[in-house]
Structure 1
Amino acid sequence: MSWPSFWLRADHNHIAWQSRLLLPISRLVCRVARRRLQAFETQHPPKVTEAKVIVVGNIVVGGSGKTPFIMWLVEQLQQQGFSCGIVSRGYGGKAKTWPQMVTPDSDPKWVGDEPVMLVKQAKVPMAVSPNRVEAIRYLEQNVKALGGHLDVIISDDGLQHYAMARDMEIVMVDGERGLGNGMCLPSGPLRESKRRLKTVDFIVSNGTLRYPLAIADTIEIMRLTPVCFRNVKHPEKTLSLEAFKNQAVNAIAGIGNPARFYRALNRLGAIVESRDFADHQAYQPKDFSWLKQQKEAIPLLMTEKDAVKCVAFAEDDWWYLEIKPQCSQPFAEQIIKKLRRL
């Protein structure tokens, strides 16, 4: 989700009036979150799987790069011989029953956009449910029924889902927005106090941190490298990164930080006319009626997360930017080493 301006980092001597006004509720949110964490630490929930559970989450609302990081993480684990699966809440999915298995052909309308994108890219079994413990059980049942097994289950988000036991916690931070003004909802973007970062195993920043996190000792940087433009309607068709250089393009983004995507297109030389949509937007053909009102046909560019929801009605000149996430090899070795120790 896009953040209101008063959530963004401000001068230490100045807090926006909106944040001050909401401070009593903010303090309550922090207090409730702290008590929930204390209860979790006092009495851990029972594990429902022999697989190691890695939670990839965040302490702020809105996107922070969890999906591309999970793609990178799965690749690293598979290279070391680990059999992986993924569970998620299936945010935005409107399925009438849960849990649900996700396949590359699943409709994002029922199971959520990010799960479909993850399954297409990572090519591992995945289950979604608002109750992640149920999702873990359902995932294992389905994998075992096919004669397989899972060494590691990655939970896409769920850091605050304390009914779920976990073996490792990795927190993602948006390098551009950081922790915003550092305040809990609704005064700021935090789901819980930033002190929570001291209790997790690893912190990963999506891009270079614009503002330092004084509370964290070491932070890994994830880079998102553009690969090519891929056609939404016919994904086997690709264009080079220079394809839209010095060319006018339309661009949409229904992600947590749309400005990041538009800047990426600008760096590739495109002349961008942008239009934001809500995070996890359930696109319909009518959302693109404005394209028909333009005097000339201009290509439409989007993220892969947007593309999975537009395949059914995409036009021939709709393209998404394919990216490759990358973290350092020493960081991958740290995760593997800790996993083997567990």
Structure 2
Amino acid sequence: MAAAWVGAVEQTLLRAWTRRGALAWGLLPLTALYALLYVLRRACYRYGLAKPQRVDAVVLVVGNVVVGGAGKTPTTISIVEHLRARGLAIGVVSRGYGRNSDAASVEVLGDTSVDLAGDEPLLIKRSTGVPVFVARSRHAAACALLAQHPHTQVIVCDDGLQHYALYRDIEVCVFDDRGCGNGLLLPSGPLRERWPRRPIKALGQHTENLLVLNTGGVAQTGQFVARRSLAPYAIDRNGKHIPLAALYAPGHEPVMAVAGIARPERFFDMLRAQGVPLDKTLALPDHYDFSSWPPNIYEGYQLICTEKDALKLWQHAPHSLAVPLQQAAEPAFFDTLDSHIDSALRSRKD
């Protein structure tokens, strides 16, 4: 099964990125090429050869410098919910990784297909209800959003930390318990960019406007802490809540957990921590679409998965259950975020 092979490669790299072993050193020639392109690209913006584009709203970028599974999307959702609760008009833009559409920009609605929206933008839309637009260019997505929702005050850019074409007012960088891993750039290590970095003021990057959130529960100096856990219930495709305890009640069919995310074992461990007995697990590549997944793999099992996977899995296995991930950041994070948001909003009025 090709997907299993791709998943195995992903997990091998994730393990290799925790130390500077033989695989990391062997990939150094490719890392040198990546580093050269990275330096040249940043130099273009630093010295004015390329310029970011602005939009008529405060732009808050959420992203990470470490590849995969740090908690970027749950962070985006929690920020959107917090700002919306304050009464602010919020919108979200994203590239929509994995979507199969050549459309210049797409407004994501609750019933938009995953192929058109991408799994993470669709999850954000269904979780928050705010306007969500996807496009290959985040600037194009932001312009389309403002054209349809001109009173939007804050645009949250999901996964845009390294997307320099859109000027940003505030940045949130998300780490987890891996930290910077082995400290090397891709593909020898997990870093998309050097960290700590040297801000480029022309992009809107400033040390004082950067918030670092650690979802691993233990933060380093200068970082805020968020804790993640699974909900004590699962959701079926109709939105009905089912207690996890029901999955290990006497007579219940065996449970198979599947995960097409960056760190599937993390999801499996969290299920076991909730007391769910997993009779079988299957780790799949991140953003796996399940379109070629044969039914004989899960016959006789109760399937459980993440909310992101469920958006695709329900099309092929409608009786699957999704277990939501709950994330809570410390109050100081939101206090600091509010201060930056208020300052940026005042600056736009001046």
TM-score when normalising by structure 2: 0.85
**Counterpart in the other structure of 1:34:** 39
Between the aligned residues of both structures, percent identity stands at 31
Deviation at 1:6, TM superposition (A): 5.2
Matched-pair contact (CA < 8 Å) for 2:95–2:134:
yes
Which residue is 2:212 aligned to?
203
Match of 1:289 in 2: 296
1:111-143 CA deviation, whole Å, 9 max, x = no partner?
Answer: 211111100001100110111111110111111
The reply on whether 1:22 has 2:24 as its aligned counterpart is no
The code of the aligned residue for 1:276 comes to A
User: What's the CA shift for 1:45?
Assistant: 3.2
Q: 1:16 to 1:137 in 2, by over 3 A?
A: same
List aligned pairs for 1:1-342, cutoff 5 A. 2=11, 4-5=13-14, 7-10=16-19, 15-43=20-48, 45-144=51-150, 149-175=151-177, 177-196=178-197, 199=207, 201-209=210-218, 217-235=221-239, 237-245=240-248, 248-272=254-278, 273-284=280-291, 286-292=293-299, 297-316=300-319, 318-342=320-344
Deviation of 1:90 after TM superposition, in Å, equals 0.5
Partners in 1 of 2:272 and 2:321 — Cα distance?
Answer: 15
Q: CA RMSD in A?
A: 2.2
Measure, in 1, the Cα distance between the counterparts of 2:242 and 2:198: 41
Structure 1 residues 274, 189: closer, same or farther in 2, change over 3 A?
same
Aligned length: 322
The secondary structure found in structure 1 opposite 2:188 is coil
The amino acid of 1:306's aligned partner reads D
- Deviations along 1:82-108, one digit per CA (max 9) or x if unpaired, are 110000001000013121110110100
CA contact (8 A) 1:71 1:325 kept: no
2:285 maps to amino acid: A
Bigger mean CA deviation after superposition, 301-310 or 191-200: 191-200
SS at match of 1:289: helix
Give how far 1:221 is off. 1.7
Determine if contact 1:229/1:238 at 8 Å carries over to the other structure: yes
Deviations 1:146-172 (A, max 9, x none): xxx111001001111111111011111
Query: Distance between the aligned counterparts of 2:213 and 2:146, measured in 1?
Result: 28
Q: 1:46 to 1:9 in 2, by over 3 A?
A: closer
Q: Is the 8 A contact 1:285 1:313 kept in 2?
A: no
Deviations 1:300-323 (A, max 9, x none): 11000001112233343x211123
Per the alignment, in what secondary structure is the counterpart of residue 256 of structure 2? strand
* Structure 1 portions without partners, runs of 5+: none
The answer for unaligned runs of 5 or more in structure 2 is 1-9, 200-206, 345-350
* 1:7-45 deviation per Cα after TM superposition (whole angstroms, max 9, x unaligned): 3322xxxx3122212213213322432342343344483
State the one-letter code of the partner of 1:153: I
* Stretch moving more, 40-49 or 55-64: 40-49
Deviation at 1:3, TM superposition (A): 5.3
